[in-house]
Amino acid sequence: MSDIVTLAAVLLGSALAIALVIGLNAMLGGWAPSRIDSAGAAAQALERDILGFRAGAQGVAAADRRAGLVMEADGGRLGLALSLGDGIVSRALRPAEVRGAQAQGERLVIRIDDFTLQRACITLANEDEARLWAGRITRFARGEPQEI
């Protein structure tokens, strides 16, 4: 056999094997993204991932189930849970780490002093909820006391 035919057979066989592994993964449910169905689910993720985090009563989940915000019980940190792929990324933000927040319609944009996550955009259920959380986060970033 010539070198070109051998190379073509190896490449074709490799591509077929990779396609079979991807197909098997999809059949077994390996492509299901993680979801944050409620503020309670966000609170559980934050308490599991962040040492000493105790979720308070104030929390909200994104309308698309891809994010959640929870104030810590003592008001000292803002918990942010983001669904990325099949996992959840958690952050516990102190007031100095939050640059600000603003509501853009139903969308809440939080600016964070973090190299790996400088901005989080969360779509909430409605404009009022986005404005409420933008105000709450802005007061938190200023160090004003939070109603818990």
Interval 97-148: pLDDT, tens? 999 999 999 999 999 998 888 999 999 999 999 999 999 999 999 988 766 5
With a CB cutoff of 8 Å and minimum separation 6, the contacts of 71 are: 55, 56, 57, 58, 59, 77, 78, 79, 136, 140, 146, 148
C-alpha span between 10 and 117 (Å, rounded): 42
Residue tagged 């809440």 (tokens): 108
With a CB cutoff of 8 Å and minimum separation 6, the contacts of 106 are: 63, 123, 124, 125, 126, 127, 129, 130
Matching CATH number, 39-142, of 2.30.29.30, 3.40.190.10, 3.60.15.10, 2.60.40.10: 2.30.29.30
Return the closest-CA partner of residue 55 out of 76, 25, 84. 76
Return the closest-CA partner of residue 121 out of 113, 109, 130. 109
pTM for this prediction = 0.77
C-alpha span between 42 and 123 (Å, rounded): 15
Q: What is the pLDDT of residues 43-86, one digit of tens each?
A: 999 999 999 999 999 999 999 999 999 999 999 999 999 998 88
Residue tagged 């051998």 (tokens): 6
